[in-house]
Structure 1
Amino acid sequence: MSLVAGAGVLGMVALSACGAAKTDAGADGAKEVTFAVPSWVGAQANVAVAAKLLEDELDVTVNQKQMDEPVAFDALNSGKADAIMEDWAGVPDKEKLYVEQKKTVVKGGDLGVEGHIGWYVPKYYADKHPEVLDYKNLNKLKDDFKTSESGDKGQFLGAAPSYTSYDKELIANHKLDFKVLPSGAEAAQLKEIQRLYQAKKPFLTYWWQPQWMNAQIKMVEVKLPEYTEGCNEPKEQTKCGYETLMLQKYLNADFAKDGGAAAELVKNFEWTTEDQNEVAKMIAGDDMSPEDAAAKWIAENKSTWEKWLPKS
């Protein structure tokens, strides 16, 4: 989703001065692992659990470096990061360069979580105005979405600047009379949505799954033109909606080959949307530290994570 960090919930450990990922660790593989961690809370949940298991079960030192997809792929290529646990296919050019051409980055397998981005309105508004669920009708309803910031246009509550989004292009190419108001950060967007939702006001927003707050609010998706492969390339000509995809892990190629038990655990890590949302809610919704949230989930889900451990 290419998503600044949700409510400051993650304290990142800086890379060493040399910046290189350390995978030269003898027969057992890597003794130190560096994760590239995108700023959205679901990505932080993945790494919190993986880090806790690596540290407690394999005695591996874990470093975490906040970086969204474009920078993360550069770091995987250079060896400054060993793995990213959640990729939303937001940087196809870098993926093609590093994975297909240079082969310095390799796929690490499915995360087990299905990702979807779309345009959403609150259910209470859609119940009164079902026509809003087709994007072709949005201009007729724009007055309901006007704010002091949007002027004579309807307001579209956008995502954080680093997230993969085609909202400005969709609005322009479909001649929709709406103005994107960037939220600045995931935490700010969630706070504004909660405020509007509690006040039962209409709003149109960029929204996604997995997202822990879906358990607390009822949102309904606005139908956009169906996604087909390549329909958002070039970005400026995008008229289609967003792709639904299985989120992927990517590893530095040397780490994947020589990382031993640590690399095997990362490759084996596969949980559900519900699992991720549970940990993310503890972090962002319940103000738990990522470490405590991971520890709680691990204590309650041994049958899931013990399958990820390397076979001795």
Structure 2
Amino acid sequence: MGRRTTLTTTTAVAVLALTCGCGAADMTRQASPFAGARGSKTVTLSVQSWVGAQANVAVAQYLLEHELGYRVDTVQVDEVPAWDALSQGRVDAILEDWGHPDQEKRYVDDKKTIARGGDLGVTGHIGWFVPTYLAKRYPDITDWRNLDKYAPLFRTAESGGKGQLLDGSPSYVTNDKALVKNLNLNYQVVFAGSEAAQITQIKQFAKEKKAFLTYWYAPQWLFEKVPMTEVRLPPYKEGCDADAAKVACAYPHTALRKYLNADFARSGGAAAAFLKKFKWTTEDQNEVSLMIADQKLTPAEAAKQWVDGHRSTWKAWLP
């Protein structure tokens, strides 16, 4: 299951973010990828709401525009609806998928409207985390079997007398409600509302050195600012999460993958070739994510800074 799969089958609202920078470009030389936009080469990328996905797209967009002369549009779509958009050609590529086997079978294997684009180079993992300062104070708190003993530490006004397990957006599927129920834990899942809201709460708890238990994931730049230690859940085994209502095991480690619209994969030229080769490390992604989310650079500014310092990495992606 993807870490952020939408809970509903309703088509997500797509927010189109189109940038334009024509300026005073020399139209005879087409120096700007946006000059004469009607006839320009265009690529549309799906960008998810979490900052790691935004970092992927920011760097890919910067290089497509400045090295390959493309105009890049970005569309924000939730995870599952993004597969439908990709299949229909409304977007050309998804650069970070956390594993949706049902969608992959439907669109890649059966309909053949989506093509695999290779590994992103980053391995994702979801888990339950406590701040490291709390784990040092109570070393056994990192074993799920001891969580009930510490539930009073995690009570909040929203948790109804139980310990609070902080999640992000209610539109993301997690296994947390099933885990709390199936492991018989005295906890209440409380949704912050979004990744940004969850980060704000975590940083506030950390500033005050308060106890918190949260659903979180790697890679994520926040670990650099708020060190956290994972709580050991029952070990993950293949198939233990097949029935969402009966899940009683940890989340898997997932190699994050790229997917391309099948027609675009065949006829997308240099852009498709570039996106297939796009592959970087967790450290690379976190570097850009940190600039966007913590240092408040725009995605384009963060991408330029990373590109300027990692030429040997991205040159290998160019066709």
Is TM (by shorter chain) over 0.5?
yes
Contact 2:128/2:216 (8 A) holds in 1: yes
Equivalent in the alignment of 1:282? 291
Are residue 249 (structure 1) and residue 258 (structure 2) matched? yes
Q: Report 1:81-100 matches (<5 A).
A: 81-89=91-99, 91-100=100-109
1:162 to partner: Cα distance: 3.3
**Residue 304 of structure 1: how far off its partner (Å):** 0.4
Letter in 2 for 1:303: S
CA RMSD of aligned residues (A): 1.7
> Do residues 80 (structure 1) and 84 (structure 2) align?
no
What residue number does 2:317 align with? 308
C-alpha distance in 2 between matches for 1:303 and 1:135: 44
Verify: 1:68 aligned to 2:72, yes or no: no
The worse-fitting range, judged by mean Cα deviation, of 116-125 and 157-166 is 157-166
* Contact persistence 1:159–1:165 (CA under 8 A): no
Cα shift readout 1:228-253 (whole Å, capped 9, x = no counterpart): 22211121111111110111001111
Counterpart secondary structure, 1:197: helix
- Structure number with greater CO (CA < 8 Å, separation at least 6) is 1
Report whether the alignment pairs 1:13 with 2:22.
no
Aligned-pair distance for 1:14? 5.7
Q: Please give the alpha-carbon distance, in whole angstroms, between the structure 1 residues aligned to 2:193 and 2:225.
A: 22
Using the TM superposition, give the Cα deviation of residue 225 of structure 1 relative to its aligned residue in structure 2, in angstroms: 1.2
Counterpart of 2:302?
293
**TM-superposed deviation, 1:12:** 4.3
The CA distance in 2 between the partners of 1:2 and 1:306, in whole Å, is 31
CA deviation vs aligned residue, 1:79-110 (integer Å, no higher than 9, x gap): 11110000001x33222211121111111011
Q: What residue number does 2:43 align with?
A: 33
1:39, 1:66 within 8 Å by CA — same for their partners in 2?
Answer: yes
Q: Say which of 130, 155, 174 aligns to 1:146.
A: 155
The reply on whether 1:57 has 2:67 as its aligned counterpart is yes
Unaligned runs of 5+ in 2: 6-14, 20-39
Match of residue 133 from structure 1: 142
- Kept in 2, the 8 Å contact 1:2–1:38? The answer is no
Alignment partner, residue 214 of structure 1: 223
Residue 46 of structure 2 contacts residue 94 of structure 2 at CA under 8 Å; is this kept in 1? yes
In 1: Cα distance, 2:16 partner to 2:295 partner = 20
Task: Give distance in 2, aligned partners of 1:35 and 1:235.
Answer: 30
C-alpha distance in 2 between matches for 1:308 and 1:159: 34
User: Identity of aligned pairs, percent?
Assistant: 51
What CA deviation, in whole Å up to 9, does each residue of 1:56-79 have, x standing for no partner? 111111110001210110111111
Q: 1:164 to 1:307 in 2, by over 3 A?
A: farther
Q: 1:213 Cα deviation (Å)?
A: 1.3
Work out the CA distance in 1 between the residues paired with 2:171 and 2:276: 26
Could you say which residue in structure 2 is the equivalent of 1:192? Answer: 201
Which residue type is aligned with residue 300 of structure 2? E
The letter for the 2-side match of 1:42 is G
Map of 1:202-241 to 2, 5 A cutoff? Answer: 202-241=211-250
CA-CA distance at 1:163 after TM superposition: 3.1
Residues 168 and 197 in structure 2, CA contact (< 8 A), matched pair in contact too: no
2: CA distance, partners of 1:250 / 1:121: 34
Distance, in Å, in 2 between the alignment partners of 1:118 and 1:71 is 24
Any stretches of 5+ residues in structure 1 without a counterpart?
A: 4-10, 16-29
Which amino acid is 1:156 matched to? L
Does residue 112 (structure 1) correspond to residue 116 (structure 2)? The answer is: no
Aligned partner letter, 2:65: E
Shift of 1:114: 1.1
Counterpart for residue 186 of structure 2: 177
Return the offset for 1:218.
Answer: 1.2
